[in-house]
Chain A
Amino acid sequence: MGGKPDTFESVDWTETGGRLSTLSRRDRGALLAGLALVAAFCYDFVVVAADQPTITFPVEWNVTQLDWLFVTTLLALLFYVVVPLYGNRRLTAYYWREFRKNRMAVLSLFYLVAVFLIGTIGPIFLEQPGLALERAYQPPAYLSVDSTVPVNCIGEVVNGQCQGTMEHPLGTTGDGKDILVLIVYGMQVSMKVGLISTLLVVTIGTAVGTVAAYGGGLVDEVLMRYVDIQLVFPAFFLYLLLTYLFGGSLFMFIIIFGLTGWGSIARLVRSEALQRAEEAYVTAARGSGAGTLYVIRRHLVPNVSNSVITAATLLIPGFILFEASLSFLSLGDPTVPSWGQVIANGRSDLSTAWWVSTFPGVFLFTTILAFNFMGDALRDALDPRQER
């Protein structure tokens, strides 16, 4: 944890309070950043007109609802994953040693970091591809296709074969959009879908699970029965209905799946919390006068977080897959170029222009595969009790 003492002697044994004044440096940082974000949001909401870009320097960027959520997610990741890992190097080194044993997982991590960075930064500099029919069906670089397929071939025509050019390294779609640029935009869509929904799910799930475990009695019963109900609630079809009524949007997708998908996390947190509450260190903390809030914050949440992070990593690919399937059915957000949408657009051209569906498909597949590999490796690394 940020600023957490590393050695036994330097632990502040008298610290047991749960008031704001005893918040750790990290929590204060997170609070400050959150307030700054809220202020910025209010500025965008109140001062800037809806159709005006929020900032014009260094690039023109009209921050949308989704962008605000995404920035919030990134801040949460920074303060509750990156900072603790950086602050507690010994533990980080231990995790890394365990994690490194799984070479596929390390590869997956690097791949995902690359996808994340390119997807977050790329769209700022790349213009969203528009309709350019004169550039339709260009083959990928170093490949060629019968010259009757593209309307006009940008590259050279050799023996009746249109050659791909580096202008469009992965070719173009039937409406002339560059596939590489579409893929970069799709990375951002996938990351937003996966990370924001998961943050919502983890936050609500942890809160409900902890409250259920500590509230006990009626509170526990009501919350857990609600979770039972929610787990069998078909959110997919609720989304279909809402899409029909209000039109598809990525924001709605994330909200619906985020607000209805936290049941399994809540169950997990509750059962772990009940287990941990019996541990000797919790009894010891309580015996030295620690309040419930303090125990939850300093003992419970950190100890439960390992299982939660693992479960969350394995939730991300599910959200991404769902979004892709819906976009494929043209029930997604028509304004954002997600991978599923590009795959669907290229499906009728598969016999002539195979690259349109194939490249986004490959990226979708590798991204989900990487998340699955990572989740599996995290489970092995973070949970020392589990037999390997």
Chain B
Amino acid sequence: MGVKRYVAKRTLQAIGVVYVVATAVFVAVRSVPGDPARLVLGGNAEPDELAAVRAELGLDQPIHVQYYRWMADLARGDLGDSIYTGQSVGASIANAAEPTLSIGLVGITIAILIAIPAGIVSATRRDRWEDYVATGVAFLGISMPSFWIGIVLLLTVGTAVPAIPSFGYASISEGVVPWLSHVILPAAAVGLPYAGIITRMTRSSMLEVLSEDYMQTARAKGLPPRLVLFKHGLQNALMPVVTVAGILFALLLGGIVAVEMVFGVQGFGRLLIRSIERQDFPIVQGSVIVVSIIFVFMNLFVDLLYMSINPKIKYGGGA
């Protein structure tokens, strides 16, 4: 199979997943006891109000028409409007995206800055104190939920360093320093578990590579150890690490939702949770679909990236 066909196949597959998610959401919403109009209006709505909403949502149509409409709206990017604010779902999510993306990206950066060097040190100084320290810290990171790290950071760093505000968010348009000072603690909270996992992966992958014959050959040729380690070793060792990045994205996102609550950041997670509390049904439904789309295409991107950095991979995707 050629590269183009492989990319096409994977893209189609991704679109298929999004379709399945959209269908699952449709089915889930329609299988609620009672009816979705009641979800929109809450428990004590008048019958004529219910009928009006039902007509507006198209719930008086037969099910296949509803399904068709649902998919057609989705294809146009129309996710409906928030019941609470009247703003369109797309705009609500876009407004809340900046803090969440900031925390996520800074978090990943922190994770990588810690994890890759720690993983390398851990592998090259195996069974020495450096390895034990790195492994110990990695285990601590893996074993603490993000929200817990957030609370601990808030109580320690947040209270000890007055320059770091422990609540809220400042947009990057207000300047980089206020932005970073607001983002750094939540980002560290979501980044540390991530760092733990990547450290462990880098370590085991590096250990495997270090025992390969080509490393021996490179050293025997008299290449400088640093060059051997970074060019021959690290390049190969990082490949499996890249593949899990996509899967870990889910973990990161789950972490951000909780961490936003700890730090009072008005991001996507807070929007989602508040919409669940307020029974703002279109936002919840729209968020699930938007996140699924991001998630699926993120994975696609990682897979294609992996393919491009690893010339050995077969385009079959199968055995």
A residues at B contact (CB < 8 Å): 220-221, 224-225, 228-229, 231-234, 236-238, 240-246, 274, 317, 321-322, 324-325, 328-329, 331, 340, 343, 347, 350, 357, 361, 364-366, 368-369, 372-373, 387
> Given known contacts A236-B250, A325-B147, A331-B273, what 13 new A-B pairs fall within 8 Å (CB)?
A228-B317, A234-B291, A234-B295, A238-B28, A238-B288, A240-B272, A241-B28, A243-B276, A244-B281, A325-B146, A325-B254, A368-B143, A372-B143
- 6 A-B pairs (CB sep. < 8 Å): A232-B299, A236-B254, A237-B288, A245-B39, A365-B144, A368-B143
In the assembled complex, the Cα of A340 lies from the Cα of B146 at a distance in Å of: 12
In the assembled complex, the Cα of A99 lies from the Cα of B60 at a distance in Å of: 64
Question: A244: which B residues are within 8 A, CB to CB?
Answer: 276, 281, 284
Q: Which of B77-124 contact A (CB under 8 A)?
A: none
Given contact pairs A221-B318, A245-B28, A369 touches B296 in the complex (Cβ within 8 A): no
B239 at the interface (CB under 8 A from A): no
Given contact pairs A234-B250, A236-B250, A364 touches B292 in the complex (Cβ within 8 A): no
How many chain B residues sit at the interface, stated as a range, is 35 or more
Residue in A317, A322, A340 whose beta carbon sits within 8 Å of that of B143 in the complex = A317
Question: A243: which B residues are within 8 A, CB to CB?
Answer: 276
Evaluate contact between A241 and B285: CB separation under 8 angstroms: yes
Evaluate contact between B295 and A350: CB separation under 8 angstroms: no
Min CB distance B104 to A, Å, is 15
B191 at the interface (CB under 8 A from A): no
B184 at the interface (CB under 8 A from A): no
In the assembled complex, the Cα of A369 lies from the Cα of B137 at a distance in Å of: 11
Which one of B15-23, B47-55, B65-73, B168-176 is at the interface? Answer: B15-23
Question: A240: which B residues are within 8 A, CB to CB?
Answer: 272, 276, 284, 287-288
B44 at the interface (CB under 8 A from A): no
Task: Determine the residue in chain B with the shortest Cβ distance to A368.
Answer: B143
Q: Which among B39, B145, B318 has the highest number of chain A CB atoms within 10 Å? A: B145
Question: A241: which B residues are within 8 A, CB to CB?
Answer: 25, 28, 284-285, 288
Evaluate contact between B292 and A325: CB separation under 8 angstroms: no
In the assembled complex, the Cα of A369 lies from the Cα of B20 at a distance in Å of: 36
B13 at the interface (CB under 8 A from A): yes
Question: A357: which B residues are within 8 A, CB to CB?
Answer: 151
Question: B151: which A residues are within 8 A, CB to CB?
Answer: 343, 347, 350, 357, 361
Those 5 A-B pairs whose CB atoms lie nearest each other, nearest first: A369-B143, A368-B143, A232-B299, A237-B288, A241-B288
Residue in A228, A232, A328 whose beta carbon sits within 8 Å of that of B145 in the complex = A328
B142 at the interface (CB under 8 A from A): yes
Evaluate contact between A361 and B148: CB separation under 8 angstroms: yes
